[in-house]
């Protein structure tokens, strides 16, 4: 029975969201889900800086971690805790699992053995138990059913009513930039209309998917794994993704950067620097 199984609820805080680079700085586990459950927390000193955006969320600074152990020092302890339970629980826990597994990979150790565990994600459970169709949203945020569902005209009118209801319910009305950031917090770093390519913290265009996620495009295009970009170009990725990868292959880094700035803008916070007056006169 589920009540007899050993349950571990866990969550991690990290230096950022890139599992290739970022690291776990805090891991909390709770043994069970009821009020008398005990918990344990590890704080961990990373080998990379904490991204300002991540620190704004969890409030942990590098100074807070100065006297904490490295992950290598607690890896065996953490592994033992996970080995002794049957059920893993975490909110949107795929990220937490990925970040922990990346730590073991960096150490050259086997991944945590979780294939035989039951995985319970309350976020996914919520999605399954409380459907989120347009009709469901209309019922919740407008207060009634709507007729002619799934005709285009009815659906767009209902979507507008649902949005108005949501904006009032969540107190978001009036600032469309803020609303867009709530909808997709990382969209500002996207290159183009999808999440496949993004600007990294250093303003470099990088892949956001696959085994080379986080790798600058110009470096990948000139390295031993350039065939990966050719594979992307030949597959059914969005047109802008294939075009940008093709340009990374065809152009020298400086020319590629100039082309990317012309067609897709510049990284967040970076502005175009005007040419010196002499150059402007000469041109």
Is residue 50 included in any domain, yes or no?
A: yes
Q: pLDDT of 91-114, one tens digit each?
A: 989 999 999 999 999 999 999 999
Is residue 282 included in any domain, yes or no?
A: no
Q: Are residues 110 and 33 in the same domain?
A: yes
Q: Are residues 68 and 108 in the same domain?
A: yes
Is residue 273 included in any domain, yes or no?
A: no
What percentage of the chain has pLDDT greater than the value 70? 92
Enter the tokens of residue 6: 């050993």
What CATH number corresponds to the domain at position 108? Answer: 3.30.420.10
* Confidence band, pLDDT 50/70/90 cuts, at residue 4: low
Q: Are residues 160 and 256 in the same domain?
A: no
* Confidence band, pLDDT 50/70/90 cuts, at residue 149: low
Write out the residue range of the structural domain in which residue 54 sits. Answer: 2-124
Q: Are residues 196 and 116 in the same domain?
A: no
Q: Are residues 98 and 155 in the same domain?
A: no
As a whole number of angstroms, the distance between CA 270 and CA 260 comes to 13
As a whole number of angstroms, the distance between CA 238 and CA 129 comes to 33
Give the total number of structural domains in the chain.
Answer: 3
pLDDT tops 50 at residue 173 = yes
pLDDT tops 70 at residue 58 = yes
The per-residue pLDDT for 204 is: 93
Is residue 270 included in any domain, yes or no?
A: no
Q: Are residues 73 and 102 in the same domain?
A: yes
Q: Are residues 60 and 161 in the same domain?
A: no
The per-residue pLDDT for 259 is: 95
Is residue 272 included in any domain, yes or no?
A: no
β-bridge partners, 187: none
- Which of 226 and 174 is assigned the larger pLDDT? 226
Q: Are residues 38 and 80 in the same domain?
A: yes
Q: Are residues 98 and 46 in the same domain?
A: yes
Q: pLDDT of 231-272, one tens digit each?
A: 999 999 999 999 999 999 999 999 999 999 999 988 877 655
The per-residue pLDDT for 270 is: 66
Q: pLDDT of 188-213, one tens digit each?
A: 889 998 889 999 888 999 999 888 98
Q: Please, where are the H alpha helices in the chain?
A: 52-58, 71-83, 94-106, 122-129, 134-141, 152-170, 176-183, 217-221, 227-234, 239-250, 253-264, 277-282
The per-residue pLDDT for 271 is: 53
β-bridge partners, 10: 29
pLDDT tops 80 at residue 283 = no
């Amino acid at each position: 029975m589920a009540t007899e199984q050993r349950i571990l609820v866990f969550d991690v805080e990290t230096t950022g969201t890139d599992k290739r680079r970022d690291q776990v700085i805090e891991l909390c586990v709770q043994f069970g889900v009821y009020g008398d459950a005990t918990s344990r927390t590890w704080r961990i000193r990373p080998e990379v800086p904490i991204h300002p955006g991540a620190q704004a969320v969890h409030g942990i600074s590098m100074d807070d971690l100065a006297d904490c152990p490295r992950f290598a020092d607690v890896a065996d302890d953490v592994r033992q805790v996970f080995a002794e339970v049957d059920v893993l629980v975490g909110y949107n826990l795929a990220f937490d699992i990925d970040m922990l597994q990346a730590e073991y990979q960096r150490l050259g150790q086997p991944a945590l053995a979780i294939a035989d565990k039951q995985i319970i994600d309350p976020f996914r459970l919520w999605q399954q138990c409380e459907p989120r169709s347009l009709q469901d949203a209309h019922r919740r945020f407008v207060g009634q059913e709507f007729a002619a569902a799934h005709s285009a005209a009815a659906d767009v009118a209902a979507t507008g009513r649902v949005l108005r209801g949501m904006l009032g319910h969540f107190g978001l009305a009036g600032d469309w930039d803020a609303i867009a950031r709530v909808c997709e917090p990382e969209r500002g770093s996207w290159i183009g209309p999808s999440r496949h390519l993004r600007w990294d913290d250093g303003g470099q265009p990088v892949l956001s998917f696959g085994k080379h996620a986080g790798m600058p495009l110009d470096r990948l295009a000139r390295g031993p794994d350039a065939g990966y970009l050719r594979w992307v170009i030949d597959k059914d990725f969005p047109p802008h993704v294939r075009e940008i990868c093709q340009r990374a292959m065809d152009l020298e880094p400086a020319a590629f950067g100039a082309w990317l700035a012309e067609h897709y803008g510049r990284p967040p916070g970076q502005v175009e620097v005007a040419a010196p007056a002499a150059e402007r006169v000469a041109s």
